[in-house]
Amino acid sequence: MLAVDLSLLYLTAKGVSTGGAAGIENSRTATMVNEMTQGTVNEVARSTAKTASGGAGAAGRVPGGPMVTATSGHGFKQHPRVQALLDSAPYPRPGYHGACCEPKIVSTILNSGRSLRGFQWNVFSRSRGTSMPPCTSCRHVFTNLGLMGSGAAKGR
């Protein structure tokens, strides 16, 4: 029964006709699917952090795209747009600048040719196992990409 209800919920959120459901109901269903996806993002991020060799692990995704994971650490080539924003960050963190999980996830999504619309993400500390807010550099990147203050940052 639950599997049928979840598949109906998913199909309704995708806009597939399920027998004349009202527009308002589709909106509610889309919100519920969005919240379920965010829960999955949080679970994957927490799991990634547990196995991270760096200080944090993260997960993110855009609707219809695959789940993307990353751990903190240097040695990742950022998407040119993300790198330009990192280069213009007003308060870079010496020794850590550009090594966070968030720019890696955003770069991976942008490199795949996908839009960041509907982006959901979270980062967890490996040592504390708790959600981490973005650092000043990541906040600068996310603000300039229009990702801060949206549903993407819930739980952060």
pLDDT (tens place) for every residue of the chain, 156 residues total: 333 343 333 443 444 444 444 444 455 444 444 444 555 877 887 777 777 777 888 899 898 889 999 988 888 899 999 999 999 998 887 777 888 999 999 999 999 999 999 998 989 988 888 888 888 899 999 999 998 754 444 433
CB 105 within 8 A of CB 60: yes
pTM of the complete model beyond 0.85: no
85-93: Cβ within 8 A, 24+ apart? 85/140, 85/141, 85/144, 85/145, 86/137, 86/140, 86/141, 88/140, 89/136, 89/137, 89/140, 89/141, 90/136, 90/140, 91/136, 91/137, 91/140, 92/136, 92/137, 93/135, 93/136, 93/137
The reported pLDDT for the residue numbered 50 is 74
The CATH-assigned architecture of domain 39-153 is 3-Layer(aba) Sandwich (3.40)
Cα-only R_g, the chain = 17
DSSP 3-state assignment of 146? coil
Length of the chain: 156
Nearest Cα to Cα of residue 153 among 52, 138, 87, 9: 138
The reported pLDDT for the residue numbered 38 is 53
The reported pLDDT for the residue numbered 156 is 37
The reported pLDDT for the residue numbered 75 is 84
Question: Which residues pair with residue 56 across a beta bridge?
Answer: 125
The number of CA neighbours under 13 Å toward the Cβ of 118 is 16
The reported pLDDT for the residue numbered 10 is 41
The reported pLDDT for the residue numbered 84 is 94
Nearest Cα to Cα of residue 154 among 125, 120, 126, 124: 120
The reported pLDDT for the residue numbered 33 is 47
The reported pLDDT for the residue numbered 106 is 95
